Structure 1
Amino acid sequence: MYKLILKNSVKTLFLLFFLFISATGTAQSDDSKFLPNIVPPSPTAGELGKFGNVPVGLFTGAANISVPLITFKTKDLESPISLFYGSNGIKVDEVASNVGLGWNMNFGGVITRTVRDKNDETQTTVYPPDDLSNATDEQKVQFYKAAGQDNADTESDIYSFNFNGNSGKFIYDKNGVPVLVNNQKIKIERTGINNADFILTATNGVKYYFTEKETTTFRSSGAGHSIPVGSVTAWYLSKMTHPNGSEIYLTYENYTMNYVASNSQSLIMSYPPIQEDCWKVVYAKAPTLSGIISQNMTVIGKRINKIFSKNMTDGYVTFSYYSQGIYDEVIGDNKIENITLYNKENIEIEKIKFDYLKTANQRVFLQNITFLDPSKKYTFEYINQTEFPQRLSYSQDHWGYFNGKNNINLVPKNITGYNLDLNNIDYNGADKEPDKNYAKIGLLNNIIYPTKGYTEFDYESNTYWGEKTTYPTKTILNLERSPEDHNPTGSTYTITSPINQRIEFLGRVNYVSNQAPQYDENGNLIPDPSNTGHFSAAMQISSTDAPGVFLPFYELTQFGVPYPHQSSFTFINSTESQIVDNVFYFDAEAGKSYTLVLYKNGIRAAARVDVSYYATAPVTVNTNIETGGVRIKSTKDFATEGAVPVYKRYYYANKEDINHSSGDNGKTPLYLDIATQRKTCSSSDGMVLCLYTTLYDLVVSSSSMISLFDTGSSNCFYKYVTVSEGGDFFENGGEMKEFTVDRDGAGQIVLGDTEIKSAPLTNFGWDNGLERKSQIFQKKKPGSEFVIVAENENKYKLDLSYNKEITAYSVRKNYEEPCPLSQSVQNFSIVEYKTKGYWFYLESSIAKKYDLKGLNPIETTTTYQYNNPVHIQLTSQSTESSLQETLQTIYYYPQDASLVSEPFVNDMITANRIDTPLRTETFKGGVKLSEQKTQYAKDDTTANLLLPKFIYAAKFPNSLSTGNGLKRKITYDKYDEMGNILQYTPEAGLPVSVIWGYNKTQPIAKIENTVYDNIPVGTITNLQTLSDADKDNCLGESCSEQRLRNELNVLRNSLLGSFVTTYTYNPLVGVTSVTDLKGMTSYYEYDTVGRLKFVKDNELNVLQKYCYNYKGQQTDCSDNTSTTVILYKSIARSGLFTKNNCAVGGTGTSINYTQEIGAVNSDISQADADNKGLIKFNADGQAFANDTANCTFWNVAKSQIIMRNNCVAGGTPDSASYTVPAGRYFSNLSQADADAQAQAEINTNGQAYANANAKCTFWN
């Protein structure tokens, strides 16, 4: 921004906005802090925006990018709208939000619900005995059987909320009481028809109403259609209400979105492969890959369309969307096109346009957001965004991120478990290994800011430290017997196995004709008559330790089960038309050598075996292992194109070993489960007996049975993260942070033999992600040790005064019991897990600062106490330095026992206004320094609102005679129905009254030394009516704003002895005029996008002009449009001028001439005013010199011969010449006067000079 200052005297112009100056001009003490802040701040130049320094969530490595858009405000409330981007990778099946992939828009608030088991309100909730572990067997069985009913709900849903800086989770106990997971004193109420809505009251008493409901319905298809299951999954904020009466409303439009949320697939086979069915019939199910099963989702949702208040002066915000089919990824997923802020006259104050890119793969990326000022624009660039695959692509890793693999199925390969090698089964399993080069595709890698600065992001794979085994390339040994080889004892080969391994064999035996192939007239091969088919080949193997003892080979069945071939493996012959591959293997032991013998017989028979094995041992090392998702590797902030960047490199490791990942990998994917069925066996006569058999199937799922995001949104957490500043090697120092990694854990099995892998976890990890330590350090030179500059250590306390547990049971019916018994529950698996409620807080923080050598620390310990679990607010904060100096502040709240007698504390508690300290005390070394107390009232003077009435304070020790040593500092005498202060009286001061206008949202007059009730009601009403009608910003008598100013001046003139300051506004933009105590008005004008443009004085002279441009852009101040007359004043000048009208012989003197500011005015530009001022300055300065300066005349040289006249008798006198040089004398009158002065010197001094210097001559 370029600001043109036109007058030096404006430096104190804005002071009145920030200080309440008393009418007498007396300087105020710090008691001014008790005065209400009801006067508007000075208008400021438009915010051009910042660039760079994007925070990184170090615990997970995700960039946390926030872009503020618009904040809708009332007098007491606000609803900010912003964009947020934070990602460790874009999942393939992810549906873009209404602002594009990876982005979310924050506005208002929402409560979301995760339905566990069945939704709470529509099912029969089954609760166990209070102490299940000590219950009787009969009580347990009754609970187990009840829990196993299809319509039973044994798990409480969990609700998450996020609104206006408040976020958390809660759950309902069996009594219907909400329990917060992290202890917060947010009041939660159910309301509406059937208690279907929510009211949440924050600790400042603001109520938030969540009544707009979104319903989600799931249904699977592909293996028959499941029964649709639908629940309310979100409640959107529809209203917020301040205790003073301000309200903000949010309205929504309905939309429906139908799409496939995900696809699944399974592989099923009997396990064990061969089982006994009824009556000893064999049960064997070959591996069967299912078709694709689609999880269909229908969302009957809510889309924000307007934010407004009940006061039209606040304006309103609208949201518009692109038409269906333009940028939606799925039907109904319309993207936001515009967000617009209007004033009450429906004039756009701000408008934000969203532009997107929709790729050929139907993925939508946010490209630009452009504000009403078109130069204020954000541009977003992504990594190879056009290569990001379409939704539901099979190219996914275990975590759902893109891995670039050309999979044709979803069930993964390379799965182990249940002593079954599924790799033995050919089902074209999916490669689900992560690939960092593909996982980062589609991620944001560049933000270009309105300043034209930009930030670049580089990513790398998440890693953890572990053992990694690298196998060598397998050796392929070719064993061959030719048709001419007739050795009956076989051919022998020896191999040595360095490890336990499976040695694989691929063998063939076939007839080799010695004549050219013959074909019939149809092109068919004519069999060689010499090929009788009487040939064969076989393989034997024995250990060199026990020659002659032949070991078994194995061949895999269609179930993947090994089938043994004892002593030898005999090949199946190939024919002339079909080659047969004989695939078998042998399990070798480490360190043993084996003898292989290949036999073959038959005329013209040839045999070949390819032996594949590891001839050398694999290498196992501890190293960084890649896992799912990516993290920020580095950021570069550029001020402009080509500028030297601010570079940060992130190492997710301890600074002492930056190549050793500190990552905690979390859960390993699990895809296997056992499905059990009990089958009733029929008798031979057809009668059904209570006989059954139990059969088992192995189910391989396409998705992990356990959540890979078990504790939060990232699968990988980092205990240590070290940031290098300025380069990769800590060129400008660095910082290291240490976090707590504490994951949630599995529940407890209470029935059955195995856990339910999909059961929710118990949230043990209350401190997961908390920062424990940080260090700032320097590196003096490459290769040198780190020098600690500063460090900090945090300690947290888990306060057991709030210790909640809600127990839930995940129930799975493993099979239908064919012969149910009253006490039989063996067909169930039940896992008990808990949702725990915690109260934890920062207990202390120890900060140390070191000298340049990393020595001599100065330590400061800050201790925090939360001594009242009723309100859980900070009650004491103390700081102790290494100098043994302790400073302490103690806070008292409405729910503290010491304030029980204070007026209206119960009203504050009822309204949940519990977070504001009513009394504060400070101490130093245990000695009290000060105290402040606020007393509330709720009566006629406060318009029956609960508002501050008195503030008392004092410094200690003092000589006050009152019991508590406090003195009243201010009285809030009167409020209106909106909670605006109408009158207050400072300590020993004059009453100050305030008139509120613009629908009672802005102060339009501050009147000192006048009681509010003494101001005529008609005067107040007239001023408020005029302000409500103000819809322009001009000075003509017909202008609504000028009419308001005129009436404000009438008010000023009518209140003799009062000191009045008045204000006018352009609501939602800023103050437009301020008339001070002396009646002098300053005017403020704004450009079309709401930025300050002109500051003018009382005479409309431009004092300041603001011109806006970004760095590197040419300054443009050509826009002089104004709602008032623009007068530019010439600058002040001063200089010497020489008189130039002297008579001949005279020399003019110089004199200083000063031209004041504004000698010349211009309505064109400042430059024009200055140029004209310079012309006038030169003309007036010369005339001033000619008129007032002097002419100086210097004498010409004069000489005269003078005879000596004092010789004694007889002497003859000589003569001497007396000379007055030129320039000895001057005159400001004339040349003649200067010469006369020279002649006067001759007349005065000439004779004496001759008498002294001429000679007397004497002759004889």
Structure 2
Amino acid sequence: MNNKTIILIIALLTCVGSVYSQGTSPALADTEGKYKYNYVPVSPVSEELMKHIMCPVNYNTGKVELSIPIYEIRTRDFTLPLRLQYDSGGIKVSAGNGVAGLGWNVDFGPTVTRSIQGNPDEEGYLIYNPDFGSWDTSYMHKMTEGMAHEQPDVFFYSTFDAQGNFVFRRPEKSSESGSHIPVYLPLTSDKVETSDIRSGFQVTDGSGNIYRFKEAEYSNTGKITGWKLTDVTSLKQDRLSFSYVTQKLTYADSYDYYAVEDMGESYRNGYWQGVDGKLKFFRMNGYALHNDSLWADFTVENVGQYDNRPYNSVDAKYPKEITYANGKVVFDYSSSLLKTVHIYENGAEIQRVTLNYKQLRFMGRSLLTEVKFTELVNNQSRSYTMSYNDYVDDYSPTQTKAVDKFGYYNGRTGNTDLVERQLVEFGMPYDGDRGVCYAYIGGADRTPDILFAQVYSLQSIKYPTGAREELVYELNTYPDTDEYGNAISSYAGGLRIYSIQCRDVEGTLKNERRFLYEKDGIPTGYAPQVTFVDEMEKLYLRTYSRTSMRYRLYSSLPVADAGAAAGVSVLYPNVSVVEKDDYGKTVSREDYEYNTNFYFPSIINGMVHDEVSHYKKGKLVRRTDYDVDTEQPVHDEEHTYTEISLNNNTPLVAGREVRRANLVVAEQSGVETDDDLYYREYRYSIGRGNTRVENQLTVNTDYYAGKLVSDTVVRTYGSTDWDIRSGLPVREIYKYSDGKKKKCDYTYPYHVNDAVGRAMTAANDILRPAHIGESVEGPEGYMDDSFTSFDYTLDPGSGSALLDEVSVWKHEGLFSMSESYPVHDAYGNVCEIRRADAPVVALLWGYNYSRPVAIVEGASYQEVVSGLCVSVESLQNLDGSALENVLLPLRNAFPAPCRVTVYRYAPQRGVVYMNEPNGNVTTYSYDGFGRLTEIRDKDGAVLEYNEYKK
């Protein structure tokens, strides 16, 4: 499976029958090779969200953010950019197609997904459990069998402007069973609500927009893994609606293992080999002395089959249609790949995007080779074309054993299984004392190889202009020490960008950006811990005796993974970006330093302890630009962060996992007793909830002729829970290099204790300012310099408020201004503007209340509506000459000194017609890509012409 976002824990289950009998037990063949496997697959779109939240893509990850814009949906209140996004971290052998082939996904907008920890929350964790945390043997046995659950699922979500994750608070009494109280990790201004996880979620962002996630995605085990956005509605009733089609996605998921048994009191040692679903036992039948060491000899017994789960699947929900005022976007798929995107405006298709692929031989895997944009207004087209490192013969993800330890192809076609070849020690009775002998297990060389690790990774992208970027990769590494304490570089999984070469239309190199992951010439990097070995005890039980064996599992997949499977292979705290020109001369250098105040999950006793500090990752601490001739800094940008939390509401979200400390083989039923039920328990914290990290201090420094000029911004955050939720500063102090200081104080709706403030807060409409005050430092302290007040009025339709008046006051009354908005329509649009020093202005709205179609200066809104020959409602369906014929007569009703301006639109592109008060007409033309092509006057003369290269 490609980048796994859930911690993988593999442990062999209890066996039935004796491995030492001369025959083969059918029950043993059915059970010995099974393993606990709490990975639940999610769709590529959901997985991309989880990865991006776990660790944002920037130089800190060794990746570059590469995207191709498809189209930008623009409505009155929303902007949704649809874009293809590429993951430059490498293609795993088990990887399936993204929405647009290997490595490519589409950002369709907001979504919700989750990492299921054992059983889904709705099946256990959110049901009141009076035995929670108990050490009772029977209860702990239930936990190992999946009949009791103490770990919360982790949910990931995104809105148009934010993303985050949360868990639910555990019910602590029976009356709280089934309650859904979110604990945010980190805290955001968003509000998440649900009455039943299975029915979906409602998220209200900090601007009061309501997102409903009601379309569920299911894994092949029937578990809900994600919820897709069905609609989003603004406070002003602007809306986007989404519909979906189901695409069944299948992923390769092979699993091989060896399990060594030794240290027995009366039986011989041996080991299990599970490869490709076939199970064998290698029984030790002697040993021989070679080079002063004893080496074991074995006889092979074919035991049977085991369930190695070569495939996993998920029923993914891909968008079929996004509809909005005056337009829609329609998506067509073939074989679960996005093939065509149709963009419609007012019922007419204005643009079409076609995606072409190169299909590989196995599992429908494909490489995106072209994205072609065809604008249907002027019948023009342009294309992006891609090439890949596909120089290796196509391999079967389910059959190849040429896989490095982190799941990337390594070209070792001679491998016979997926377990790294290694020397193991067997404890054995020897001349009355316990001795040791040795043997090799595993049939794989899992060493990474850069030539093969980059197979199917993007090699170059050619832009519509003809220019091309070529990507050069290297292996992710981090500084480490060997067993003797010597400094070495260890492989961390996947690829990082080494350089990006830019070439012109003729293919001539123009410049190259190189990425150096080091500080002062010394490599840097932090990698999460991963282990492929687990150890426990195995008991063979008989009616009157028992035998205890040491049992070691050597797996092809991590038995505990602290982050690499989630796409966080390594984090680089220091990265230098050096740009060279076509002659190889350095023309610029930028150094980036990232926050290291975070923790990767740790592995203790074979279990993963996750403090969920990922929201601290990827924070830029310092960025420095250099003069490449003097190698001295010319600009420095430095950031300091602070952690803020809700008052008396920062629960330490905790969980517990319990595993059998031993495996049990009972030769007769009923011989297992409570004395045999030993457990390995680990209690751990997931993180301190309802906490966030914000920028507290920013220092910008410029260097001129040996002198430095430094400006500082210090931010202070409020102490109320609403202050913490919004993450907005209540004060910013600007300190300038000339010694001057300016202070800005802010208040927000939750600071205003009146009906309007309370209504806005209740609607989660909390990000709009209420007051902004500026003051400057003088001889006697700070003096008021300016003040801006935003007054709102209650809006029964939205439950929040509408802007009613803006007042501005400048120093000592030298300037003051007040502008009011006394009239709004049912959709919250401003319909009238009044100022003491200017005529009243009325606005008429059309195109489903999304665009102003007439502005009348010198008349009130009510007067203008009375002067119309049709109702305002009828305006919404008019366009072209029909709209002009209704609006232009307003000039007769409101002659000079009144001024009437009339507009027409292509709603998704812009204004196409403007008739000014003096009768001058200007027309605007666009291509299907939304680009302005020409402007003409009333006589048709071209005032401006824009030509775009393909």
TM-score, scaled to structure 1: 0.62
Q: Structure 1 residue 339: deviation in Å? A: 0.8
Are the aligned partners of 1:363 and 1:388 in contact in 2 as well (CA < 8 Å)?
Answer: no
SS of the residue corresponding to residue 629 of structure 1 reads: strand
Instruction: Identify which of 161, 164, 167 aligns with 2:163.
Output: 167
Structure 2 match to 1:288: 273
Aligned in 2, Cα 1:203/1:797: closer, same or farther, shift over 3 Å?
same
Instruction: Identify which of 707, 720, 726 aligns with 2:574.
Output: 720
Instruction: Identify which of 519, 525, 541 aligns with 1:663.
Output: 525
Residue identity opposite 2:653 in structure 1: I
SS of the residue corresponding to residue 1053 of structure 1 reads: helix
Instruction: Identify which of 724, 745, 750 aligns with 1:895.
Output: 750
Are the aligned partners of 2:418 and 2:443 in contact in 1 as well (CA < 8 Å)?
Answer: yes
Structure 1 match to 2:12: none
Residue identity opposite 1:670 in structure 2: T
Answering whether residue 322 of structure 2 is matched by residue 307 of structure 1, we say yes
Identity %: 22
Are the aligned partners of 2:88 and 2:497 in contact in 1 as well (CA < 8 Å)?
Answer: no
Are the aligned partners of 1:204 and 1:912 in contact in 2 as well (CA < 8 Å)?
Answer: yes
Answering whether residue 355 of structure 2 is matched by residue 354 of structure 1, we say yes
Instruction: Identify which of 514, 519, 529 aligns with 1:649.
Output: 514
Structure 2 match to 1:865: 716
Distance in 2, matches of 1:943 and 1:117, equals 41
Instruction: Identify which of 985, 997, 1000 aligns with 2:849.
Output: 1000
Q: Structure 1 residue 1049: deviation in Å? A: 2.4
Unaligned runs of 5+ in 1: 1-54, 133-137, 218-228, 325-333, 470-618, 684-690, 749-754, 961-966, 1031-1040, 1111-1260
Structure 2 match to 1:431: 445
Deviations 1:346-400 (A, max 9, x none): 3111211111111245531111111124542111111226545332322111111
Q: Structure 1 residue 1046: deviation in Å? A: 3.3
Are the aligned partners of 2:75 and 2:908 in contact in 1 as well (CA < 8 Å)?
Answer: no
Structure 2 match to 1:338: 340
SS of the residue corresponding to residue 868 of structure 2 reads: helix
Distance in 1, matches of 2:518 and 2:373, equals 41
Deviations 1:1036-1057 (A, max 9, x none): xxxxx23432332222122124
Are the aligned partners of 1:56 and 1:632 in contact in 2 as well (CA < 8 Å)?
Answer: no
Distance in 2, matches of 1:154 and 1:949, equals 51
SS of the residue corresponding to residue 909 of structure 1 reads: helix
Aligned in 2, Cα 1:59/1:1081: closer, same or farther, shift over 3 Å?
same
* Mapping of residues 1197-1236 of structure 1, within 5 Å: none
Distance in 2, matches of 1:1081 and 1:466, equals 71
Answering whether residue 799 of structure 2 is matched by residue 797 of structure 1, we say no
Are the aligned partners of 2:425 and 2:438 in contact in 1 as well (CA < 8 Å)?
Answer: no
Are the aligned partners of 1:1069 and 1:1090 in contact in 2 as well (CA < 8 Å)?
Answer: yes
Deviations 1:921-979 (A, max 9, x none): 11211221111111111258x8986211111220132389xxxxxx6611102111111
Distance in 2, matches of 1:671 and 1:980, equals 61
Residue identity opposite 1:1059 in structure 2: R
Q: Structure 1 residue 412: deviation in Å? A: 1.4
Aligned in 2, Cα 1:388/1:871: closer, same or farther, shift over 3 Å?
farther
Aligned in 2, Cα 1:888/1:820: closer, same or farther, shift over 3 Å?
farther
Distance in 2, matches of 1:697 and 1:295, equals 25
Structure 1 match to 2:420: 412
Answering whether residue 312 of structure 2 is matched by residue 297 of structure 1, we say yes
Distance in 1, matches of 2:684 and 2:795, equals 54
Structure 1 match to 2:912: 1072
Deviations 1:490-514 (A, max 9, x none): xxxxxxxxxxxxxxxxxxxxxxxxx
Q: Structure 1 residue 214: deviation in Å? A: 0.5
Structure 1 match to 2:472: 458
Q: Structure 1 residue 144: deviation in Å? A: 4.4
Instruction: Identify which of 377, 383, 386 aligns with 2:389.
Output: 383
Structure 1 match to 2:586: 731
Distance in 2, matches of 1:301 and 1:764, equals 29
Q: Structure 1 residue 234: deviation in Å? A: 0.5
SS of the residue corresponding to residue 809 of structure 2 reads: strand
Aligned in 2, Cα 1:700/1:1025: closer, same or farther, shift over 3 Å?
same
SS of the residue corresponding to residue 253 of structure 2 reads: strand
* Mapping of residues 363-762 of structure 1, within 5 Å: 363-373=365-375, 374-384=380-390, 387=393, 389-392=395-398, 393-406=400-413, 407-414=415-422, 424-427=438-441, 429-467=443-481, 622-654=487-519, 656-657=520-521, 660-667=522-529, 669-683=530-544, 692-707=546-561, 709-710=563-564, 713-726=567-580, 731-742=586-597, 744=599, 755-762=604-611
Instruction: Identify which of 292, 317, 322 aligns with 2:329.
Output: 317
Structure 1 match to 2:281: none
Q: Structure 1 residue 142: deviation in Å? A: 8.1
Distance in 1, matches of 2:798 and 2:697, equals 43
Distance in 1, matches of 2:798 and 2:858, equals 23
Are the aligned partners of 1:388 and 1:441 in contact in 2 as well (CA < 8 Å)?
Answer: no
Instruction: Select the structure of larger CA radius of gyration.
Output: 1
- Equivalent pairs, count: 826
Distance in 1, matches of 2:886 and 2:273, equals 89
Structure 2 match to 1:243: 235
Q: Structure 1 residue 621: deviation in Å? A: 5.7
Structure 1 match to 2:949: 1109
Distance in 1, matches of 2:949 and 2:247, equals 42
Deviations 1:1172-1209 (A, max 9, x none): xxxxxxxxxxxxxxxxxxxxxxxxxxxxxxxxxxxxxx
Structure 2 match to 1:1062: 902
Q: More deviation in 425-434 or 1073-1082?
A: 425-434
Instruction: Identify which of 227, 246, 256 aligns with 1:265.
Output: 256
Deviations 1:798-844 (A, max 9, x none): 23556431110011123478777779863343343423333221111
Distance in 2, matches of 1:729 and 1:651, equals 16
TM-score, scaled to structure 2: 0.81
SS of the residue corresponding to residue 922 of structure 1 reads: strand
Unaligned runs of 5+ in 2: 1-55, 172-179, 278-307, 429-434, 665-669
Structure 2 match to 1:517: none
Deviations 1:567-615 (A, max 9, x none): xxxxxxxxxxxxxxxxxxxxxxxxxxxxxxxxxxxxxxxxxxxxxxxxx
Residue identity opposite 2:688 in structure 1: K
Structure 1 match to 2:660: 813
Distance in 2, matches of 1:975 and 1:920, equals 24
Are the aligned partners of 2:331 and 2:341 in contact in 1 as well (CA < 8 Å)?
Answer: yes
Normalized per residue, the structure richer in strand is 2
Distance in 1, matches of 2:539 and 2:641, equals 53
Are the aligned partners of 1:116 and 1:155 in contact in 2 as well (CA < 8 Å)?
Answer: yes
Aligned in 2, Cα 1:458/1:1096: closer, same or farther, shift over 3 Å?
same
Distance in 1, matches of 2:271 and 2:800, equals 77
Distance in 1, matches of 2:235 and 2:563, equals 40
SS of the residue corresponding to residue 650 of structure 1 reads: strand
Residue identity opposite 1:955 in structure 2: K
Aligned in 2, Cα 1:418/1:249: closer, same or farther, shift over 3 Å?
farther
* Mapping of residues 1003-1042 of structure 1, within 5 Å: 1003-1017=852-866, 1019=868, 1021=870, 1025=874, 1028-1030=877-879, 1041-1042=880-881
Residue identity opposite 1:647 in structure 2: E
Instruction: Identify which of 974, 984, 987 aligns with 2:823.
Output: 974
Answering whether residue 691 of structure 2 is matched by residue 849 of structure 1, we say no
Q: Structure 1 residue 187: deviation in Å? A: 0.6
Q: Structure 1 residue 416: deviation in Å? A: 6.1
SS of the residue corresponding to residue 682 of structure 1 reads: coil
Deviations 1:965-1012 (A, max 9, x none): xx6611102111111211111233221111112222221111011111
Q: Structure 1 residue 143: deviation in Å? A: 6.6
Are the aligned partners of 2:169 and 2:653 in contact in 1 as well (CA < 8 Å)?
Answer: yes
Q: Structure 1 residue 1017: deviation in Å? A: 4.1
Distance in 1, matches of 2:258 and 2:713, equals 59
Distance in 1, matches of 2:532 and 2:191, equals 42
Q: Please, what is the CA RMSD of the aligned residues?
A: 3.2
Deviations 1:650-704 (A, max 9, x none): 11111x32xx31122432x422223433333224xxxxxxx54433332221112
Deviations 1:731-789 (A, max 9, x none): 224121222335535579xxxxxx442435233555333222222222437xxxx3122
Distance in 2, matches of 1:230 and 1:943, equals 38
Distance in 2, matches of 1:1025 and 1:146, equals 66
